[in-house]
């Protein structure tokens, strides 16, 4: 499945199951492939079958079914499955990490931070990019709890571990802006645009930070760039919101006003929670 050929993988697992009806790993792995093609009902059915066949050893099946529930926005069911996985294998860092992301999705940020801490304590060495993801998500939870200083420390760690991940730069830019460090925000949003030139949100937020620094024309240029990107990407709501923001800034260029940040980036299990 590592080469992205999920349909072929599903067929291979199907053949394996046909040869051995109680092949627990085949059901669990087919579930994961079905999650990747967004066939969540089939994924849940396969993992449930794996759990029924081996209820006391199906840690992976619980984790994979939890992911399917998470992708359906069924966070309580996802958390319940991660709890089961942890009960079976208390040292599985992925169960803690995924539970943290699910807890953050329902606003349980303190519990999410506790889960991220447990994931960091259990993760084996050598997985720097994944460790960076955990720090990034813990930083986001701290940002939601209005603790930008602690969030900054987490984003700093994420950047050191994975300096090519634009999300950590974007999120640190948001933390800078929340502390009215607009120079730092411009620095980080600039790096985010370099790493992900198609990210309109980075241009919007850099434009807002530039506006607060008094660089109105540069701010307008960034907002126009964001609008062009959103229009090209077919993001109609974001495009219209950005056009309205441009008009608003143009009318207010003679006075400094407080323009809120547009959004922050979530990631790992593909968080992208928009405020549009």
User: Which DSSP string corresponds to 41-101?
Assistant: HHHHHHHHHHHHH-TTT-HHHHHHHHHHHHHTT-HHHHHHHHHHHHHH-TT-HHHHHHHHH
Instruction: Look at 57 and 195; give whichever has higher pLDDT.
Output: 195
Helix 109-122 vs helix 128-144: angle between axes, to the nearest 10 degrees? Answer: 160
**Fold type of domain 1-90:** 1.25.40
1-90 and 173-276 agree in CATH topology: yes
pLDDT at 259: 56
Cβ atoms 260, 272 nearer than 8 A: no
Q: How confident is the model at residue 8 (pLDDT cuts 50, 70, 90)?
A: confident
Domain boundaries, the chain: 1-90, 97-163, 173-276
Q: Is the pLDDT of residue 273 over 60?
A: no
pLDDT at 276: 31
Range 199-225 average pLDDT: 95
pLDDT at 95: 97
Which of 78-92, 127-141, 190-204, 260-274 shows the lowest per-residue confidence on average (mean pLDDT)? 260-274
Query: What burial letters (b/e) apply to 226-242, b meaning 16+ CB within 10 Å?
Result: bbebbbeeebeebbebb
Cα–Cα distance, 110 to 265 (Å, whole number): 19
Which of 22-36, 48-62, 114-128, 157-171 shows the lowest per-residue confidence on average (mean pLDDT)? 22-36
Range 33-54 average pLDDT: 91
Please give the distance of CA 255 from its chain centroid, rounded to a whole number.
36
Cα–Cα distance, 128 to 139 (Å, whole number): 16
Cα–Cα distance, 36 to 220 (Å, whole number): 39
- Where does the chain show beta strands of DSSP type E? none
pLDDT at 192: 97
pLDDT in tens, 147-189: 999 999 999 999 999 999 999 999 999 999 999 999 999 999 9
Range 55-83 average pLDDT: 94
**Fold type of domain 173-276:** 1.25.40
Range 98-123 average pLDDT: 98
Query: For residue 74, what are its two tokens?
Result: 């069924």
DSSP code at position 262: -
Mean pLDDT of the chain: 89
pLDDT at 14: 80
CATH 1.10.3720.10 fits 97-163, yes or no: no
Q: How confident is the model at residue 6 (pLDDT cuts 50, 70, 90)?
A: confident
Question: pTM score, two decimals?
Answer: 0.85
């Amino acid at each position: 499945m590592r080469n992205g050929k999920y349909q072929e993988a599903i067929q291979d697992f199907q053949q394996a199951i046909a040869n051995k009806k109680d092949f627990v790993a085949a059901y669990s792995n087919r579930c994961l492939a079905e999650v990747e093609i967004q066939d969540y009902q089939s994924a849940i059915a396969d993992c449930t079958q794996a759990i029924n066949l081996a209820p006391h050893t199906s840690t992976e099946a619980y984790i994979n079914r939890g992911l399917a529930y998470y992708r359906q926005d069924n966070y309580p069911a996802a958390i319940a499955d991660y709890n089961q996985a942890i009960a079976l294998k208390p040292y599985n860092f992925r169960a803690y990490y995924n539970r943290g992301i699910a807890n953050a999705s329902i606003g349980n940020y303190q519990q999410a931070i506790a889960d991220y801490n447990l994931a960091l304590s259990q993760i084996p060495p050598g997985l720097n990019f994944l460790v960076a993801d955990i720090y990034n998500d813990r930083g986001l939870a701290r940002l939601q709890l209005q603790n930008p200083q602690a969030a900054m420390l987490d984003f700093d760690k994420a950047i050191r571990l994975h300096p090519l991940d634009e999300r950590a730069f974007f999120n640190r830019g948001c933390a800078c802006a929340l502390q009215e460090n607009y120079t730092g925000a411009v620095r980080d949003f600039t790096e985010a645009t370099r790493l992900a030139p198609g990210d309109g949100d980075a241009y919007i937020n850099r434009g807002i930070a530039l506006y607060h620094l008094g660089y109105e024309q540069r701010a307008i240029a960034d907002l126009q760039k964001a609008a062009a990107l959103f229009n090209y990407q077919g993001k109609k709501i974001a495009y219209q919101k950005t056009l309205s923001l441009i008009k608003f800034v143009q009318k207010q260029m003679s006075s400094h006003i407080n323009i809120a940040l547009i959004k922050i980036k979530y990631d790992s299990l593909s968080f992208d929670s928009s405020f549009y």
